[in-house]
Amino acid sequence: MPEDEEYEEYIEEYASVSSIVKQSLPLLLICIMLGLFAGVVLGSMESSLKALPGLLVLVPAILDTRGNIFGAFGSRLGSALHQGLIQPELKRDENLVHSITAALGEGVIISILLAVTAHYVILALGRESIGIIPLTAISLIAGVGSGLVLTALIIVLAFAGYRRGIDPDNITGPIATTAGDVLAMLALFMAAEIVLGVM
């Protein structure tokens, strides 16, 4: 039956073990190198971390949320592409706009909640905090800055991959996680420097 043949073709192209490994493995190797670079960026932030008490508490939380928010965004894009709800073209599309708005909106909300929570957790532990306003400013600058770049990167990769027969789900997850780490660290570093310059 034609439907059975289409199903088998789909499985072979997108869901077989060999296709998943072939599409994911090279990207995972690149992600390893990017992850090491994120560590290098963190190491270079030593003076900022000392000058801004409490900033270190934000680091793992911001890194984690970048992967969570934008990994889900990549998955939504992949599902929408497979279902034909959006086309792999860089043009205005209502479904795409809703997904982008949701991801960026979540990023802003989570950045504020992270800063507020970090401030009060630090105080509850009897540690010094730079204050809720500077922490919120750093978290927002880092969250929004890295979120904008991640959004564009994931859209371009998902669309380009899909047009070339690569399942977006095999590439957007690792990219969201690893590129999110690198971009969040760079954005945190820049945000910390901006806040230190103002204080």
Closest by CA position to 171, among listed 183, 186, 185, 155: 155
Question: pTM, whole model, 2 decimals?
Answer: 0.74
Let me know if residue 112 belongs to a domain: yes
Closest by CA position to 152, among listed 83, 104, 109, 94: 104
The CATH number linked to 183 is 1.10.357.20
- The Cα 106–Cα 143 span in angstroms is 10
Let me know if residue 15 belongs to a domain: no
Let me know if residue 141 belongs to a domain: yes
Let me know if residue 58 belongs to a domain: yes
Q: What is the pLDDT along the chain (199 residues), one digit of tens a residue?
A: 455 566 566 555 555 666 666 666 666 667 667 666 666 666 666 666 676 767 777 878 887 888 888 888 888 888 888 888 888 887 788 888 998 999 999 999 999 998 998 889 888 888 877 888 888 998 899 889 989 999 999 999 889 888 888 778 777 887 788 788 888 888 888 888 887 776 6
> What is the residue range of 58's domain?
26-198
For residue 159, CA distances in Å to 22, 85, 125, 188 come to: 18, 13, 46, 28
